[in-house]
Each structure stands twice: as structure tokens, then as C-alpha cells.
Amino acid sequence: MKPEYFQQAVLDWFEHQGRTDLPWQKTITAYRVWISEIMLQQTQVATVIPYFERFMDSFPTVEALANASIDDVLHHWTGLGYYARARNLHKTAQRVTFDMGQQFPDSIEQLIDLPGIGRSTAGAIRSIAFKKPAPILDGNVKRVLARFAAVEGWPGQTAVHKKLWNIAERYSPNSRTADYTQAMMDLGAILCKKTSPNCNQCPLVNDCKAFSQGNQAHYPGKKPKKILPIKSSLFVLLRNADKAILLQQNPPVGLWGGLWVPPQIEKQADLHQLCNKLGLKVTEQKLLDNRRHTFSHFHLDYQPILVDVTETPNRVAEIDNQVWYNPKNPLSLGMPAPIKALLST
């Protein structure tokens, strides 16, 4: 299928069936496109919409985001997961604000030089915000192109990924770039779904190799399955007389980097050593039900232990990376969703 026919078919479909009322489509700027694209990574549109709207209310400009505290940014991100995205948002906002005069670059090379922006996100910013040619290859577009061209293999493999990029480049237009980019994402989200694709309404159906073969589910190839390892931990909920829970901030990098969490220990016998170190005295303790949280590369089995404590006379009242958190009068802190849920029960 010639690129111009492919493009026209996709654009004609978009004019009648595409999504045009998403929050980030109303007042298009590089900043708003960037925030939406980062939020949409690994996350469904319906989930992202309320987060995006709250984020824009609090940080309406890249300058506002740059000047915000990382705690405030992570607080707004709580529940979206993959928190490195939020940390990179903050870093990029500061780069753009303080080093680039609050102006996003419009070249792919300069965009991908910013923290957290990959080639596809850069393509979306350039094509939608600046209306300049650039291919994208997010999850939805990978699925559309893999089926259309019957590309064998899992897109996470280098050779398969490269082949899909070549196809994306071949079909990307030089004009109407914003509409085309949104149209390709919409095709994957609305019609070319992972399961039960609505092929009869697809503008590419007559030239789709997967459809002609009758094996749409074969494409794209599945990620090889692996057994996730299991790690375990005790989450210590240290509760003072005011019913507040002690939280401490993780280092800025690593698992749950920069987020506020309860102290963790490997075994219950370590509890008194932890409390002595913190200047706290145990008055009562109770083990709660086991829980599991699954990360991309392992399962975390954790058991909360609720510990009522009193502060010893020599305890330092204010410690930089610790805070007493009262769920009835919550602070604006960035917390992992499992911890937020645990503290609300």
C-alpha cells in the first residue's frame, strides 16, 4: 500500500471516528502534549484523564512544575505507578525552564536528550505540538503496524522494534502530522485492540496482512513469559499517641525513589532494634494480613505490623527524612499506591 493511500485512509477515518475531545487536545502546547504522553505510558486513557486535569490545575505551565517541590509532584502522581516518570518530569521541567527559556525544542534529537523522553514521545511532541513530521511508535501503533505488515516477533526484540520503526517512518506524512499521530493512536485504542479487534470498521482492513491471514491475535508477538521472583518484607506502621504513622522518605533513586513509606524490616525480631534507633518505645504490636504488590520484575509480599509507640526523651523531634503522617489530616506527600491504601484502612 502506497504511503499516501495509507495516510489518506487513516486521516479520513479520523475525521469521522477519531477522538477530539480529550483534555490534552483542548489548547495544545508542547507542555500539555508532553505531560499527557508521559502519563499515557503503560496507562489507560480513562485512568489518565483525572490525573492530567489535576496535574494541570496545580502545574499549569512548565515553569510552575519546575518550581514545585518533588514531594508535591510525586503526591500528584500517586496511583499512576512507574514513579521514575514523575521524577524525570520534574528534572525535564527544570531543564526547559532554567536552561531553555521555558521553550521546548522541536527537534527529535534535542527532545530525547531531556530526561524521560524517548523517541516515540519526542515524535508525538514534535508532530502534535509543533506540527512537524515525526513518526511515533507507542503500544497502540506497534499493534496496528505489526498486524498491518504481519511483522513476526515480540516488539521488545531489537530487530522487530527496528522493523516497526522503519514501517512507521515510511507511512508518516509531512502534513497534517498532528491529526495523523492522533489517528494512529486512536486506531489501536478504538479498533485494533489486543483482543477482539473491530476489523470491519478499520480503514486499513483491505490491505492488512494479519486480517487476510485470519490470525490477528498472532500479532504483535508476545513477550516471553518468565517467572517473577518473590521478595518479602515487614512494613512497620509506627503509630504515636496522636494516631499518626511514621513515614520516611526513600532516596531519590531506586525502588519507590523519593516516595514516603513506612520503615521496613526483614523479621519481627528486628523491631526493637529499629525502634531503639528511632528513639521510640514499643507499647503494643499487632501483625496484620499479608499483602502482595507486583512490580514489573518481581512480586513483593509484605506484611504490615502495627506498632503503638511513645517517643523517648532523647528522640530528635524533627528529622529531615521522617514525618508523622495522620491519615485524618493528610500531608501532600508522594506515596506508592499500596502504602496510600494501607494507611487509609
Which positions are catalytic? 37
Q: Which residues pair with 247 in a beta bridge?
A: 323
3-state secondary structure 194-235: CCCCCHHHCCCHHHCHHHHHCCHHHCCCCCCCCCCCEEEEEE
End-to-end CA distance of the chain: 57
Give the position of cell 519507590.
256
For β-strands 280-287 and 260-261, DSSP reports them as unpaired
User: Rounded to an integer, what distance in angstroms lies between the CA atom of residue 34 and that of residue 36?
Assistant: 6
- Beta carbons of 133 and 127 less than 8 angstroms apart: yes
- The percent of the chain in helix, strand and coil, each rounded to the nearest 5, is 45, 15, 40
Rounded (10°) CA dihedral 54, 57, 59, 61: 130
For β-strands 299-311 and 230-239, DSSP reports them as parallel
Angle, in degrees to the nearest 10, between helices 3-17 and 177-186: 70
Q: Which residue type occupies 240?
A: N
For the chain, give me the number of helices (H) and strands (E)? Answer: 14, 8
Angle, in degrees to the nearest 10, between helices 3-17 and 158-171: 80
